Amino acid sequence: MKYLLLIYKSPQAEAEMSPTARDELRRGYGSYGKKLMDTVMKYGELLQPAEAATTVRVRNGQRVITDGPYVETAEYLAGFALIECADLDEALEWAAGHPDARHGGGVEVRPVVDWRPPA
């Protein structure tokens, strides 16, 4: 089954880290990413910071564009990975292994619907 890992960072937590802890976090990204790509990852990307986002809504038939993310939050979506695992438990293990899950951020695990439009 496919799962989307939505990776959230906490800029405050990272800013409060010592230089040694920050270096350790960056090394963790490398080792975790390699292991993920070598085993269950199908696709993934890093995203630009939340400040680069543009949110689009349609209200009363009119397009409304807002600079920035659509919610105020201390964390921001930093990246995603599409993985294929045997079950939710395996996907949760991968999420728990992400460095940001242990350093002030979080990783949301969302099952992917196997949907195709009608022919």
Residues paired with residue 59 on neighbouring β-strands, in sequence order: 62
Q: Match domain 2-111 to its CATH number in 3.30.70.1060, 3.30.950.10, 3.30.70.270, 3.40.50.720.
A: 3.30.70.1060
Position 72 scores a pLDDT of 59
Nearest to 96 by CA among 36, 30, 22: 36
**Token digits of residue 56:** 């689009």
pLDDT > 70 fraction of the chain, expressed in percent and rounded: 95
Where are the domains positioned within the chain? Answer: 2-111
The whole-angstrom separation of Cα 77 and Cα 105 is 10
The CA-atom distances, in angstroms, between 48 and each of 18, 37, 86, 107 are 24, 21, 31, 17
Give, in degrees to the nearest 5, the angle at Cα 75 between 65 and 39. Answer: 105
Position 28 scores a pLDDT of 93
**118 confidence band (pLDDT: 50, 70, 90):** confident
Collect all residues with Cβ–Cβ distance below 8 Å to 58 and sequence separation of at least 6. 64
Residues paired with residue 3 on neighbouring β-strands, in sequence order: 83, 111
The whole-angstrom separation of Cα 65 and Cα 60 is 14
Position 70 scores a pLDDT of 58
Per residue in 52-103, pLDDT tens?
777 777 889 888 888 766 555 677 888 999 999 999 999 999 999 999 988 8
Position 27 scores a pLDDT of 93
Position 105 scores a pLDDT of 87
Residue, of 43 and 119, whose pLDDT is higher = 43
Position 71 scores a pLDDT of 58
